[in-house]
C-alpha cells in the first residue's frame, strides 16, 4: 500500500449499523475492540462472581462442582482471550497510528476481519455451556488427558473457538508489525517511538510466535479425541506431560503478551503526571526485549511438580529468577521517573501508581514461586491464584483503566467525571486487594486452587475475598457509567488535556478526527 492510497480524505464515517460491520477505520475498530473487551470483562467477571459466591462459605450451596469447574475454566478463558487481549488490541488500534503519525493501520481490511472473528469465536465458546455435558471444565490450561479422553463432548467446539481467537490475534499482530515497521512518519526512528509502540511491537512478535503453538496444542487435543492419534495418551505411546510442555511454551509468553503493553501504557502516563521525561528509555526497551526473550525459556516453571530431572528443574529455576532483573529495571525506572518530578494525581496516574506497587507485589510472589523447592508447596494453591491475579488485575487491567482514563478525552473530546473516576479507582483498589491479598494466606495454609468447597480453617479469608470480589465487580459498572457519560457529553477536552503530556497523539484535536495524519507529520 502506498502512502497516498487513501484518496477519499476527510469524509466522516458512514451512518448506521453498516458503519461498524464494514469499517476499516482504525479508530472505529479500536472502539469496537474496547467495547467487546469490556462486555467480555463483565461476562468473565460475572463468572468470577459465581465462583466467589460459591466460595463465600464452606459447603456446597449455589452451584454443583461440575458447574463450578466450568465457571473457573470459562472465567480464565474469557478474561485472557476475551477481555485483556482485545483491550490491548483496541488500544493499539486507536493509539499506534496516532503515536507514530500514520494515517491508519497498514492492513485496514484485515483489521476489520480480525475484530469480527472475535464475537463469533466467543459466541461459540459460550454456547458450549448450554450443550449436553456442559462446557469446558478442565481449567483454562486444559491439561490432557482431562481435556481429551475425559472431556465433555463440547470440547470440539472449544477447540474451534480457540482456533478462531488465534487467527484473530495473529492477524492483529501482523497488522501491528506491518504498521509499526512501515508506516512511521518521517523522522520517527525506532528509538524515538513511544514505549507503548515498542512494547506492542514486541508483543506482536510474541503473538506470532506462540499463538500458532496454542493452535498446535488444541489441534493435537482435537486429533486425540477424534482422529485416533495418541499425542497425549500414554497407552498409545504418547505422553500427557508433552501437552504441558507445548501448552506452557505458549502459555508463558502469553502472560507477557498480557503485561508488556501495560508496561507501555504506564511508561506513557508516569512521565506525563511527573512532568519529567521517562527515566532510562533505552534500558526500558532492552528490558522489554529481554523479558520477551526469557519468556521462551522458562515455561517448565509451571511444571516443577510433574517430575522434571534435577538439571532441568535447576535450569528453569535460574532462568525464571533472571526475569526479576529486567522487571526490576523497569520498576526502578518508573520510580526514578517519579523521583524529583512535579507530581499530580489525576485518575490515570492513580491507576499507574497502583500498578507499580501492586504489580511489584505480584512480582515478589512470582520470585518466590520461581524457587523450585518452595514451589512444591505453592504450586496449584491459592498462593498461585493470588500471584497471577496480582499481576493481571492491577497489572494488565489497571493499566487498561489507566490508558482509557488517559486517552478517553482524546477519543471522545470530552473530559470525564473526574470525581467519579477517582471513586472508581479507590473502590477498585480496595476491592482488588481485599479479594486477592487473603488468597496468599489461604494458599500458603494449604488450600488448593479450583476447588468448590474447602475446610473451615479457610473460611474467614474466603469470605473476605468474596466480599472484596463483589465490591470490585460492582465497581466496574461505575466505570461503564463513567465512560458512557463521557461519550455522551461533558466539559470540552483540549487537544492536550494533560499538562505534561508529550507525543503525536496530543497534536491532533480532541476528539481525534475520523482520519488523522493523512499527510505524515515531521518528527524531529
Nearer Cβ to another protein, position 65 or 513? Answer: 65
How far apart are the C-alpha atoms of 393 and 382, rounded to whole Å? 15
- Residue 309 Cβ vs another protein, minimum distance, rounded to whole Å: 5
Nearer Cβ to another protein, position 485 or 502? Answer: 502
Q: Does 178 bind another protein (CB under 8 A)?
A: yes
Instruction: Write out the binding residues for another protein, residues 475-504 only, by CB under 8 A.
Output: 500
- Residue 487 Cβ vs another protein, minimum distance, rounded to whole Å: 29
Nearer Cβ to another protein, position 138 or 407? Answer: 138
- Residue 507 Cβ vs another protein, minimum distance, rounded to whole Å: 21
Q: Which residues contact 391 (CB under 8 A, 6 or more apart)?
A: 255, 259, 359, 362, 363, 366
Residue from 328, 503, 509, 520 touching another protein (CB under 8 A): that is 328
Residue with grid cell 468447597, as numbered in its chain: 453
Q: Which stretch binds another protein (CB under 8 A): 31-39, 194-202, 428-436, 443-451?
A: 443-451
How far apart are the C-alpha atoms of 497 and 408, rounded to whole Å? 10
Instruction: Write out the binding residues for another protein, residues 208-267 only, by CB under 8 A.
Output: 208-213, 215-217, 219-220, 228-231, 233-242, 245-246, 249
Of 324, 325, 497, nearest in space to 409 by CA: 497
Q: Which three cell numbers stand for residue 207?
A: 503473538
Instruction: Write out the binding residues for another protein, residues 27-86 only, by CB under 8 A.
Output: 58-61, 64-66, 69
- Residue 185 Cβ vs another protein, minimum distance, rounded to whole Å: 15
Q: Which residues contact 107 (CB under 8 A, 6 or more apart)?
A: 171, 174, 175, 178, 179
Instruction: Write out the binding residues for another protein, residues 366-385 only, by CB under 8 A.
Output: 367-368, 371-374, 376-377, 379-381
Residue from 119, 139, 520, 521 touching another protein (CB under 8 A): that is 139
Instruction: Write out the binding residues for another protein, residues 257-316 only, by CB under 8 A.
Output: 274-283, 305-310, 312-314
How far apart are the C-alpha atoms of 484 and 479, rounded to whole Å? 9
Angle (CA) 153-155-156 rounded to 5° is: 90
- Residue 129 Cβ vs another protein, minimum distance, rounded to whole Å: 15
Residues near another protein (CB under 8 A), total: 135
Alpha helices in 6-84 (DSSP H): 17-22, 26-54, 65-77
Q: By the 8 A CB rule, do 388 and 141 touch?
A: no
- Residue 139 Cβ vs another protein, minimum distance, rounded to whole Å: 5
Of 345, 383, 353, nearest in space to 366 by CA: 383
Catalytic residue ranges: 75, 104, 140, 168-169, 252, 254, 256, 267, 301-302, 327, 330, 449
Q: By the 8 A CB rule, do 76 and 140 touch?
A: yes
Of 160, 369, 351, nearest in space to 273 by CA: 351
Amino acid at each position: 500500500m502506498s502512502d497516498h492510497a487513501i484518496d477519499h480524505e476527510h469524509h466522516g464515517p458512514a451512518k448506521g449499523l453498516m458503519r461498524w460491520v464494514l469499517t476499516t477505520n482504525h479508530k472505529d475498530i479500536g472502539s469496537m475492540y474496547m467495547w467487546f473487551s469490556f462486555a467480555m470483562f463483565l461476562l468473565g467477571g460475572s463468572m468470577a462472581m459465581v465462583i466467589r459466591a460459591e466460595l463465600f462459605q464452606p459447603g456446597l450451596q449455589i452451584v454443583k462442582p461440575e458447574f463450578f469447574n466450568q465457571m473457573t475454566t470459562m472465567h480464565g478463558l474469557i478474561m485472557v482471550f476475551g477481555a485483556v487481549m482485545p483491550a490491548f488490541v483496541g488500544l493499539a488500534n486507536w493509539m499506534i497510528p496516532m503515536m507514530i503519525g500514520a494515517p491508519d493501520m497498514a492492513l485496514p481490511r484485515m483489521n476489520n476481519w480480525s475484530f469480527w472473528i472475535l464475537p463469533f469465536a466467543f459466541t461459540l465458546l459460550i454456547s458450549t455451556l448450554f450443550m449436553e455435558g456442559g462446557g469446558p471444565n478442565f481449567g483454562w490450561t486444559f491439561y490432557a488427558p482431562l481435556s481429551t479422553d475425559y472431556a465433555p463432548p463440547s470440547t470440539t467446539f472449544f477447540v474451534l473457538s480457540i482456533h478462531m481467537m488465534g487467527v484473530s490475534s495473529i492477524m492483529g499482530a501482523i497488522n501491528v508489525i506491518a504498521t509499526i515497521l512501515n508506516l512511521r512518519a518521517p523522522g520517527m526512528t525506532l528509538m524515538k517511538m513511544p514505549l507503548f509502540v515498542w512494547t506492542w511491537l514486541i508483543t506482536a512478535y510474541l503473538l506470532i510466535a506462540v499463538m500458532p503453538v496454542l493452535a498446535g496444542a488444541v489441534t493435537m487435543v482435537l486429533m486425540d479425541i477424534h482422529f485416533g492419534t495418541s499425542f497425549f495418551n500414554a497407552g498409545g505411546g504418547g505422553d500427557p506431560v508433552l501437552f504441558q510442555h507445548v501448552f506452557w511454551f505458549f502459555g508463558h509468553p502469553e502472560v507477557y503478551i498480557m503485561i508488556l503493553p501495560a508496561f507501555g501504557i504506564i511508561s506513557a502516563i508516569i512521565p506525563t503526571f511527573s512532568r519529567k521525561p521517562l527515566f532510562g528509555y533505552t534500558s526500558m526497551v532492552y528490558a522489554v526485549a529481554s523479558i520477551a526473550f526469557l519468556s521462551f525459556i522458562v515455561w517448565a516453571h509451571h511444571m516443577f511438580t510433574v517430575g522434571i530431572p534435577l538439571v532441568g528443574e535447576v535450569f528453569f529455576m535460574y532462568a525464571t529468577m533472571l526475569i526479576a532483573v529486567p522487571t526490576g529495571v523497569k520498576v526502578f525506572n518508573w520510580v526514578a521517573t517519579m523521583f524529583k518530578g512535579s507530581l499530580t494525581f489525576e485518575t490515570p496516574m492513580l491507576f499507574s501508581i497502583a500498578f507499580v506497587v501492586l504489580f511489584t507485589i505480584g512480582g515478589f510472589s512470582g520470585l518466590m514461586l520461581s524457587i523450585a523447592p518452595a514451589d512444591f508447596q505453592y504450586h496449584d494453591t491459592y498462593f498461585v491464584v493470588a500471584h497471577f491475579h496480582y499481576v493481571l488485575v492491577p497489572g494488565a487491567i489497571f493499566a487498561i483503566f489507566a490508558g482509557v482514563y488517559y486517552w478517553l478525552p482524546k477519543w471522545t473530546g470530552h473530559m470525564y467525571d473526574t470525581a467519579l473516576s477517582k471513586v472508581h479507582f479507590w473502590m477498585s483498589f480496595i476491592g482488588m486487594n481485599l479479594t486477592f491479598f487473603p488468597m496468599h494466606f489461604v494458599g500458603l495454609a494449604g488450600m488448593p486452587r479450583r476447588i468448590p468447597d474447602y475446610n473451615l480453617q479457610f473460611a474467614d479469608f474466603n469470605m473476605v475475598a468474596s466480599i472484596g470480589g463483589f465490591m470490585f465487580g460492582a465497581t466496574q459498572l461505575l466505570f461503564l457509567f463513567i465512560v458512557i457519560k463521557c461519550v455522551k457529553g461533558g466539559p470540552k477536552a483540549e487537544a492536550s488535556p494533560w499538562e505534561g503530556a508529550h507525543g503525536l497523539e496530543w497534536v491532533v484535536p480532541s476528539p481525534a478526527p475520523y482520519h488523522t495524519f493523512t499527510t505524515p507529520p515531521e518528527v524531529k
